[in-house]
Chain A
Amino acid sequence: MLNQNLKLNTKIFNGDVEKKSTREGFGEGLLEAGINDEKVVGLCADLLESVKMNIFQEKFPNRFIEVGIAEQNIVSVASGMSAMGKVPFVASYAIFNPGRNWEQIRTTICYNNQNVKIIGSHAGLSVGPDGGSHQMLEDIALTRVLPNMVVISPCDTLEAKKATIALAKTKNPTYLRVARNDTPVITTIETPFEIGKAQIIYQPENGLAKVGIIATGPILYNALMAAKELEKEGIKIKVMNLSTIKPLDKEAIVTLAKETKNIVTIEDHQVIGGMGSAVAECLSEFYPTKINFIGVKDSFGQSGTPEELMKYYGLDTESIIETIRKSI
């Protein structure tokens, strides 16, 4: 059952659940962060509407810079603005930001510990028809390895909005991973959000869980559907929303592993170096536990509908159910 201490969306299991993208949540959050703090500025690289920075740009044209198609420049410009006291948000597609400009992020932002927020939109397989060149599956690995960097991957549009507002108030270089497509709204306005805190969003009505699913990003919805389905077979499951990948909520992960002795990680990202790897690093040190990793396994994506791709790469609800059954 849903953990209603978190005031989650009770309609989540309905067929007509509201859907909205995490990139829109970012756009709305940036507008609010901009209203809260005049130091917040926006930078974009010819993808203003795609990354939903347009509502900020319309409200604050004098706090917005368009740099053209120049992702290496944009993050370094943002570093310079942060050096002068601004709180810059840099948004582009994740494949370019932090893909194209990783070394600039490392040197000019993380090495300098500048307060720049990097927004990677259109992350994951869910970009669909654009194909493998634009499906960023390595961004979590690229960013979490950087000293000083915070990494956040929200599960739905509301969490993306809350995360954006929250990270505008911190001083850390931060990577926020958002996606293009409309995906189910899992949380509500009242659901609490705190950077660095994992949440158990689904749990057995009574007794201990036999499986602990840890998911990050909108694919959390598939994890929920799988848990609900397996519950009917009497398989007790807990589902964790791990939206902050760095710093990792080690205590929550170890607690879940101690209860279930069986962890399944799910991410729309390469298994190598991704969120599952972060969980594995934690558990192998503090509570060695068998882990099944669901994600893209050392391959690139391709064109197709998001549904087709999720099925092909083993990330759809059916595949998750299958993996969990085998894990028991």
Chain B
Amino acid sequence: MEHLNQDKILELKVKANDIRKSIIEMLYHAGSGHTAGALGMADIFTYLYFVALKHKPENPSWEERDRVVLSNGHICPVLYASMAHSGYFRKEELNTLRKFGSRLQGHPHREYLPMLETSSGPLGEGLSQAVGMTIASRMDKGLDKKIYCFMGDGELDEGQNWEAIMLAGKEKLNNLIVIVDRNNIQIDGITEIVMPLGKVLDKFKEFGWNGEEIDGNNFEKINHAFYNARNNKERPYAIVAKTIPSKGVKEWEGNYKWHGKAPNKGEMEMAIKELDANK
């Protein structure tokens, strides 16, 4: 396994901190949007875009690239910020989020931003598309392409996911890697109260998947899980990533009220000050 030395981890932490600042600023400028999930997933997205992903930001349609499907499209600020920070487009564009004429639609739309692999927003549909991409890639003998699908835990309430989980297991799609953001919140509250999900990983495994549960805000653990996922044989791989909603801004952490809310000016300034203090 490629080890992450302390210098690399520090570099990733700085990068994730910058991405979190971009997320907060873009949501403030937008005046609406989803804060908690985007901040919670900032570490994994940083790792993906700066370590794991096979891609060429200067040539987004490079045929050999890995594919990224964001099923829980509402956390797109973290996707847009990661793309901007890795060079897909200028960071200044981030503050056009959710505005009329912007390429950065409130939920990702590839007609506006063709470098996206798909549009998303309505929950429960991303994994099926990722399964389709993996099957098509296998038909073309595209054995080295990895298809990453991000989804929320609350999203698993949607029955379509289980149709897709079954198909991926049946087809033994070992190039499919799913990252479930297990942050235990959804719009109406705590997932285990709104609709209990129980042992998410066991459910995947029962349908023929491999996987592991990790601390999704720890770079060493993320690195280890992605290594296992990429070298996994015969089965699709689920990383159930336990993340802290709004991770990085102490006052907001774990509070489901930040699921679908953007910061106002004062809140934004407070958060940026806190993140700046990390340097």
Q: Which residues of A contact B (CB under 8 A)?
A: 41, 62-63, 65, 67-68, 70, 72-73, 76-86, 88, 103-104, 107-108, 111-113
Q: Which residue of B lies closest to A65 (CB)?
A: B135
List residues of chain A with CB within 8 A of the CB of B109: 111
B140 within 8 A of partner (CB): yes
Q: Known interface pairs A68-B167, A73-B160, A73-B163. Does A81 touch B111 (Cβ–Cβ under 8 Å)?
A: no
List the 8 closest A-B pairs by CB distance, nearest first. A80-B132, A76-B128, A73-B163, A84-B136, A80-B129, A70-B163, A77-B132, A80-B133
Q: Decide if B119 touches A104 in the complex (CB within 8 Å).
A: no
Q: Decide if A113 touches B111 in the complex (CB within 8 Å).
A: yes
Q: Decide if B129 touches A83 in the complex (CB within 8 Å).
A: yes
List residues of chain B with CB within 8 A of the CB of A72: 124-125, 128, 159-160, 163
A112, B133: Cα distance in complex, Å: 14
List residues of chain B with CB within 8 A of the CB of A76: 125, 128-129, 132, 160, 164
B137 within 8 A of partner (CB): yes
List residues of chain A with CB within 8 A of the CB of B132: 76-84, 88
Q: Known interface pairs A67-B167, A107-B121, A111-B119. Does A73 touch B128 (Cβ–Cβ under 8 Å)?
A: yes
Q: Beyond the given A85-B136, A111-B111, could you list 20 further A-B residue pairs with CB under 8 A, ordered by the A residue number?
A: A41-B139, A65-B167, A68-B166, A70-B167, A73-B163, A76-B125, A77-B128, A77-B132, A79-B129, A79-B132, A81-B133, A81-B135, A83-B67, A83-B117, A83-B129, A86-B136, A107-B119, A108-B129, A111-B119, A112-B119
A76, B117: Cα distance in complex, Å: 13
One of A77, A79, A84, A111 near B140 (C-beta < 8 A): A84
B42 within 8 A of partner (CB): no
A112 to chain B, nearest CB (A): 5
B118 within 8 A of partner (CB): yes
Q: Decide if B118 touches A83 in the complex (CB within 8 Å).
A: yes
Q: Which residue of B lies closest to A101 (CB)?
A: B160
Size of the B side of the interface (Cβ < 8 Å), in residues, is 32
B7 to chain A, nearest CB (A): 37
B131 within 8 A of partner (CB): yes
B122 within 8 A of partner (CB): yes
Q: Which residue of A lies closest to B131 (CB)?
A: A77
A156 to chain B, nearest CB (A): 32
List residues of chain A with CB within 8 A of the CB of B69: 80
Q: Decide if A79 touches B163 in the complex (CB within 8 Å).
A: no
A80, B121: Cα distance in complex, Å: 15
A68, B160: Cα distance in complex, Å: 12
Q: Decide if B130 touches A80 in the complex (CB within 8 Å).
A: yes
One of A41, A63, A86, A108 near B125 (C-beta < 8 A): A108
A79, B135: Cα distance in complex, Å: 12
List residues of chain B with CB within 8 A of the CB of A104: 125, 128, 160
List residues of chain A with CB within 8 A of the CB of B118: 79-80, 83, 108, 112
Q: Decide if A80 touches B131 in the complex (CB within 8 Å).
A: yes
B29 within 8 A of partner (CB): no
B110 within 8 A of partner (CB): yes
Q: Decide if B133 touches A67 in the complex (CB within 8 Å).
A: no
Q: Which chain B residues in 75-122 approach chain A with CB under 8 Å?
A: 109-111, 117-122
A77 to chain B, nearest CB (A): 4
List residues of chain A with CB within 8 A of the CB of B159: 72
B131 to chain A, nearest CB (A): 5
A72, B164: Cα distance in complex, Å: 9
